[in-house]
C-alpha cells in the first residue's frame, strides 16, 4: 500500500538487523488519516471473505482493527487481552504466544461469548514476524470453532518466517507493507506489497 | 448520550458497589457503530476548543481516541504506554498513575516528540473514577507545556470523585454517560449526561 510504504520510508527507523520502529505513525503516535486508508485497503482485500467480526490483540492492534471494521460496515471488534498468567475460568478461552524478541511466553485470552462458533473472523495486527501472535489468535478461533476468514497485517517482516508459513498453510494473508531487510538503519521494502 | 446509555442499560453489568462491566460493547468487544457515534459526540462537544491531538492511554482508550480523532478531521492520536517501572530516558516523559482498584502505582509514558509544546490536547478515556489516569495524562501535558483542551470520557462513575474534582478545577469535561449508583447488579445512570 503506497501511503504506508511512503510513511515507512520517510519515518520508519531500522535498528540492527531486525527492529522496525514505526512509532511515529503506527503504534505510539497514530496517523489517523493513514490508519483509515489502511482500513479501506484491508476491507477491499477481505470483503469477499465475508467476515463478521474483527479480532486483534491489545494494544497496538486495536486502532487498526477498528479502522478495518469501520471500512467493512462497522463490524464488531474483539481484542484479546494479554496476560502473564494462565487463568482457570470456563468463560475465557486462551492460547499461548511466545515472544522470540523477549524470550517470554504470554497468554492471550478472550471471553468465549464474544467469539461465537461459526463466526467468520478477520484477524488484524500491526506486525507479523515469527507469526506467534497470529497463530495464537488462530488458535483461539479454532478452539471456538470460528472460521479464520483472513489475516490483515500492517507491516510484515519478510525476513522472518511468519508470513511464509501462513501463506504455505493456505491462509488468506494481506500485509500492507513487507520489509525485505534493514541496511544501515534504512528499511528496505519489498516491491510487491 | 442516548445510544451509550441504552447499551449500558441493556448490556452493562454492575458488580458489587462500584464495578461497571461494559465488556460487551466498549472494552473487550467493541460495538463499532456505537464507537463512531461516541466519536461524533465528543467532536461536537470539543470542536470549538480546537484540539490538534488526541491523547489516551493503552489499551481500552485507543479505540475511543481513534473515533474522536476521526470525527475531528483525522487528528493524530497518541497513546501513553503503561509500565510497572520508572525509566531513565530523556526521550520519554512519564507520570505515575495510582490504581485504587488494584492498589498499585504504575507509570504511564510517552515519547516527548509526539506531545509537542503548545499542542492543544483532547484527552479521551473509557472510564473516569478517581481520575488518576486523566490526572496522569494532564501531568504529561503540563510537563510538555501542552494545553489540555478538554477531557472526553465514555463512562464516568459519578459516585467516585474524579469527575467532580476535574469540573471544580475548571477542566472542560464531557462524560457521555454518568453512573449514579449500582443497585442489585443494576446500573443506575444519572439523567443529565
Cell, residue B179 = 453512573
CATH number of A39-180: 3.40.50.2020
Q: Tell me the percentage of chain B whose pLDDT exceeds 90.
A: 90
Cβ-nearest to A76 among B29, B58, B111: B29
Higher pLDDT, B103 or A170: A170
Q: Which fold has domain B2-189?
A: Rossmann fold (3.40.50)
pLDDT band at B193 (very low <50, low <70, confident <90, very high): low
B23 touches chain A (CB under 8 A): yes
pLDDT band at A129 (very low <50, low <70, confident <90, very high): very high
A57 touches chain B (CB under 8 A): no
- What mean pLDDT is predicted for residues A23-43? 97
Higher pLDDT, A151 or B191: A151
Which residue has 501531568 as its cell numbers?
B139
Q: Kindly list the residues from chain A whose CB atom is less than 8 angstroms away from the CB atom of residue B63.
A: 62-63, 66, 77
Residues B24-37 have pLDDT tens digits of: 999 999 999 999 99
ipTM of the complex: 0.96
pLDDT at residue A149 is higher than 90: yes
pLDDT band at A193 (very low <50, low <70, confident <90, very high): low
pLDDT number for residue A83 = 83
pLDDT number for residue B100 = 77
pLDDT band at A89 (very low <50, low <70, confident <90, very high): confident
Higher pLDDT, A86 or B91: B91
Q: Kindly list the residues from chain A whose CB atom is less than 8 angstroms away from the CB atom of residue B23.
A: 111, 114
pLDDT number for residue A33 = 98
pLDDT band at B8 (very low <50, low <70, confident <90, very high): very high
Burial class (CB in 10 A: 0-12, 13-18, 19+), B118: exposed
A29 touches chain B (CB under 8 A): yes
| pTM attached to this predicted model | 0.97
Residues B75-90 have pLDDT tens digits of: 999 999 998 788 778 9
- What mean pLDDT is predicted for residues B13-19? 93
pLDDT number for residue A116 = 98
Handedness of CA B112, B118, B119, B120 (dihedral sign): positive
Where do the structural domains in chain B lie, given as residue ranges?
2-189
- What mean pLDDT is predicted for residues A38-64? 97
Closest listed residue to residue B58, CA positions, set B80, B37, B91, B73:
B80
The Cα–Cα gap between B184 and B181 comes to 10
φ and ψ at residue A126, rounded to 5 degrees: -75, -45
- What mean pLDDT is predicted for residues B41-53? 98
B35 touches chain A (CB under 8 A): yes
- What mean pLDDT is predicted for residues A120-137? 97
Amino acid at each position: 500500500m503506497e501511503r504506508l510504504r511512503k510513511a515507512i520510508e520517510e519515518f520508519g527507523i531500522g535498528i540492527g538487523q531486525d527492529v522496525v520502529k514505526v512509532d511515529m505513525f503506527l503504534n505510539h503516535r497514530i496517523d489517523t488519516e493513514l490508519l483509515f486508508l489502511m482500513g479501506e485497503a484491508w476491507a477491499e482485500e477481505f470483503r469477499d471473505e465475508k467476515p463478521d467480526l474483527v479480532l486483534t490483540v491489545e494494544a497496538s492492534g486495536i486502532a487498526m482493527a477498528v479502522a478495518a471494521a469501520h471500512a467493512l460496515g462497522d463490524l464488531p471488534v474483539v481484542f484479546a487481552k494479554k496476560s502473564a498468567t494462565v487463568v482457570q475460568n470456563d468463560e475465557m478461552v486462551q492460547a499461548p504466544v511466545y515472544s522470540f524478541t523477549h524470550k517470554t511466553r504470554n497468554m492471550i485470552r478472550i471471553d468465549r461469548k464474544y467469539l461465537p462458533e461459526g463466526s467468520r473472523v478477520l484477524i488484524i495486527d500491526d506486525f507479523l514476524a515469527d507469526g506467534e501472535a497470529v497463530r495464537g489468535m488462530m488458535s483461539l478461533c479454532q478452539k471456538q470453532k470460528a472460521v479464520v476468514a483472513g489475516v490483515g497485517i500492517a507491516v510484515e517482516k519478510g525476513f522472518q518466517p511468519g508470513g511464509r508459513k501462513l501463506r504455505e498453510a493456505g491462509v488468506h494473508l494481506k500485509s500492507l507493507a513487507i520489509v525485505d531487510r534493514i541496511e544501515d538503519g534504512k528499511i528496505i521494502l519489498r516491491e510487491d506489497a
